């Protein structure tokens, strides 16, 4: 094991986000000497648990887990390093008129629940699930594969394109049409094909716009719905859960697995520049001025940061740089982490309903969601924001002192740039107040229970986590930026236009979320280039 300093490493990974760590694990397991460099004094990127208030652990950014590929969890033995993912049951949208819609795990409870709003929708829901599952079955095998380049004639690309083509044809004629439509249509149009009840549509539409600078009526949002549905917990497709100890448990387990394979991590070591000599990446310079050399450099940062901030444009093809500039990576989300003195009361949620332990929402129509997006377009945070709110401390006993609760509130929409000036402390507070007021409308005792709140705007996310504009997926998940077009057409195979340099962050296929697939695929590409089987 080489511990930093003078020796030349086989690989340096810039960024200890979960994808950087996944790539690091696979490389170290293949016998490479790997060093991970992290800017922050802690690791994890957007998958992190921090204690900012006495006795409370927050999942500061990401807060629920489903997408993390089971193959990765097994191969890297993450359970052996303390990772435990516990599914939660259902969720609930509270309505402005005091009503609610909950989603239950039990099939019959769910049918009866939806039937309270529309009997027909209760049965259409089966068709909706079927179609989501059909799309999942299509996309699943593509997640842990390097996307083929359709313009290339390399045998591997042709082989992979044939695979993609065959896989597509296996869907059958009708479903091929469905898939193409699905990948390009709006979530609102998609849901209209199944449901008549506004509340059912509103509840489901939430995951089509999370982290996305689009409204439910924008084309492309149906896919985002799938992106949130294609994960699974123990084979239950679409199920979400909590990582015990917060989402930082994912990156802590990865770090432990990596170190057990002989890798080393340096936190508090921001990379200022990736060194390129003779057209080949050869190491990095830290902000401290320290130079570290490596045969391979892998960036976990989003493509904008990677190529515009820590690389010299002169080292890159000109067209590539302008494509990177055009990469859509708009911030649209905020986050509140709240320490509560007790469990708040939500009168709309019936007593004894398990939905209180799931994801809670207050947006009860597509219209309301679209209006929330309108605010974003105008350069202000939504006055009636979409929130995805959970209290994992009801399930995970490690997060808070007994009887207290941690509430994670994901907020959509919040702009990176405000129309009326820069983000500052007062505006951050005002944003936080909007969110807290929104919740308080549905919970009379909520405000009195607040002990501490961490408020994060897209500007904070950019500055703390390093996500450009605070885009949670390291780039929008629209069809023009997916598969072989992600992040940049012609560069979907994790290789940067500079030899010896690779990308492994969520900017690459198959995209954002705590999934690990970009990191695993990048490691596969590297090992293939090194002539080592993966």
Partner 1 sequence: MLTESEPHYRQPLLKTPFHERARALSQVDSFIPWAGYTTVDVFSFVEQEYFAIRNASTLYDLTPMVKYRIDGRDALRYLNRLMTRDIGKLKVGRVAYSVWCNDAGHLIDDGTVFRLGDTEYRLCTGERQLDWLLDSALGFDLQIDEVTEETAALAVQGPTSCAVLKNMGLGGIERLKPFELAHFALPAAIASDAQIMVSRTGFTGDLGYELWMRPEDAEAVWDALMEAGRYCAIRPIGSRALNMARIEAGFVLPNVDFVSGERTLRAGTERSPIELGLGWLVDLNKGHFTGRRALLEEQRRGPRRQLVGLDIEGNKPAHNALLYADKAGRRQIGSVSSATWSPTCKRNIALAMVDVPYIETGSTLWAEIYLNRELVWERRMARTHVVERPFFAPERRRLSPPADY
User: Is residue 336 within the footprint of ligand FAD (CB under 6 A)?
Assistant: no
473 binds, among ligand FAD, partner 1, none (CB under 5 to 8 A by kind): ligand FAD
Give the residue with the Cβ less far from partner 1, 122 or 243. 122
Which 367-386 positions form the footprint of ligand FAD (CB under 6 A)? none
In the complex, the residues that contact partner 1 under the rule CB under 8 A are 102, 104, 106-109, 111-113, 119-120, 122-124, 126-127, 130, 133-134, 137, 170-172, 174-175, 350, 352-355
Nearest to 375 by CA among 338, 334, 335, 405: 334
| SS3 track for 124-172 | HHHHHHHHHHHHHHHHHHHHCCCCCCCCCCCHHHHHHHHHHHHHHHCCC
61 binds, among partner 1, ligand FAD, none (CB under 5 to 8 A by kind): ligand FAD
Give the residue with the Cβ less far from ligand FAD, 197 or 521. 521
Per-residue CA distances from 372 to 39, 208, 216, 295, 380 (Å): 34, 14, 10, 48, 10
18 binds, among partner 1, ligand FAD, none (CB under 5 to 8 A by kind): ligand FAD
Instruction: Pull the structure tokens for residue 274.
Output: 């990736």
Give the residue with the Cβ less far from ligand FAD, 216 or 518. 518
Strands 34-37 and 291-299: unpaired
Residue 232 in contact with residue 73, Cβ under 8 Å?
A: no
d(CA 477, CA 479): 7
353 binds, among partner 1, ligand FAD, none (CB under 5 to 8 A by kind): partner 1
Q: Distance from first CA to last CA of the chain, Å, rounded?
A: 21
**Region binding ligand FAD by CB under 6 A among candidate stretches 72-80, 137-145, 434-442, 508-516:** 508-516
CB of 353 to partner 1, least distance (A): 5
130 binds, among partner 1, ligand FAD, none (CB under 5 to 8 A by kind): partner 1
Give the residue with the Cβ less far from partner 1, 358 or 475. 358
Which 28-87 positions form the footprint of ligand FAD (CB under 6 A)? 37-40, 45-47, 61-64, 67
User: Is residue 304 within the footprint of ligand FAD (CB under 6 A)?
Assistant: no
283 - beta bridge partners? 275, 293
Q: Which contacts (CB < 8 Å, 24+ apart) does range 114-119 have?
A: 114/197, 114/200, 117/197, 117/199, 117/200, 118/195, 118/196, 118/197, 118/200
Residue 205 in contact with residue 189, Cβ under 8 Å?
A: no
CB of 122 to ligand FAD, least distance (A): 28
335 binds, among ligand FAD, partner 1, none (CB under 5 to 8 A by kind): ligand FAD
Residue 325 in contact with residue 47, Cβ under 8 Å?
A: no
**Contact footprint for ligand FAD (CB under 6 A):** 14-20, 37-40, 45-47, 61-64, 67, 270-271, 300-301, 305, 310, 333, 335, 410, 461, 465-467, 472-474, 505-506, 512-514
């Amino acid at each position: 094991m080489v511990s930093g300093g003078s020796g030349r490493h086989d690989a340096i990974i810039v960024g200890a986000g979960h994808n950087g760590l996944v790539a690091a694990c696979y490389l170290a397991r293949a016998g490479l000497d790997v060093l991970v460099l992290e800017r922050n004094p802690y690791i994890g990127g957007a998958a992190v648990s921090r204690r900012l208030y006495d006795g409370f652990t927050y999942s500061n950014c990401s807060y629920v887990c489903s997408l993390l590929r089971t193959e990765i969890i097994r191969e890297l033995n993450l359970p052996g390093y303390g990772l435990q993912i516990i599914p939660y049951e259902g969720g609930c949208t509270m309505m402005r008129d005091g009503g609610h819609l909950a989603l239950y795990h039990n099939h019959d409870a769910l049918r009866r629940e939806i039937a309270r709003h529309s009997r027909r929708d209760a049965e259409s829901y089966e068709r909706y699930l079927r179609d989501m599952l059909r799309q999942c079955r299509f996309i699943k095998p593509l997640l842990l594969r390097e996307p083929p380049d359709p313009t290339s004639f390399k045998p591997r690309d042709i082989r992979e394109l044939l695979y993609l083509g065959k896989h597509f044809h296996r869907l059958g004629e009708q479903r091929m049409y469905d898939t193409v439509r699905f990948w390009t249509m709006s979530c609102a149009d998609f849901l209209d094909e199944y449901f008549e009840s506004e509340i059912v549509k509103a509840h489901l539409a939430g995951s089509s716009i999370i982290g996305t600078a689009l409204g439910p009526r924008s084309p492309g949002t149906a896919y985002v719905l799938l992106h949130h549905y294609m994960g699974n917990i123990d084979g239950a497709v679409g199920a979400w859960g909590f990582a015990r100890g917060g989402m930082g448990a994912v990156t802590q387990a990865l770090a432990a697995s990596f170190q057990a394979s002989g890798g080393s991590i340096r936190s508090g070591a921001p990379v200022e520049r990736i060194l390129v000599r003779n057209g080949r990446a050869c190491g990095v310079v830290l902000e401290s001025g320290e130079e570290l050399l490596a045969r391979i450099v892998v960036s976990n940062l989003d493509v904008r940061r990677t190529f515009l901030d820590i690389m010299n444009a002169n080292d890159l093809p000109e067209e590539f740089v302008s494509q990177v500039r055009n990469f859509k990576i708009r911030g649209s989300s905020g986050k509140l982490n709240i320490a509560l003195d007790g469990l708040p009361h939500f009168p709309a949620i019936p007593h004894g309903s398990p939905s209180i332990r799931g994801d809670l929402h207050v947006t009860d129509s597509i219209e309301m969601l679209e209006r929330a997006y309108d605010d974003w377009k105008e350069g202000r945070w939504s006055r009636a924001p979409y929130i995805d709110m959970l209290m994992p401390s009801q399930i995970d006993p490690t997060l808070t002192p007994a009887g207290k609760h941690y509430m994670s509130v994901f907020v959509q929409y919040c702009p990176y740039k405000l129309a009326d000036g820069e983000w500052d402390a007062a505006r951050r507070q005002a944003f936080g107040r909007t969110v807290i007021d929104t919740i308080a409308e549905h919970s009379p005792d909520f405000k009195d229970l607040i002990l501490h709140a961490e408020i994060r705007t897209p500007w904070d996310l950019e500055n703390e986590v390093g996500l450009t504009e605070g885009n949670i997926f390291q780039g929008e998940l629209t069809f023009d930026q997916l598969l072989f077009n992600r992040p940049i057409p012609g560069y979907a195979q994790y290789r940067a236009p500079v030899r010896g340099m690779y990308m492994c962050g969520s900017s690459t296929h198959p995209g954002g979320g705590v999934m690990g697939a970009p990191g695993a695929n990048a490691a596969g590409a590297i090992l293939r280039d090194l002539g080592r089987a993966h």
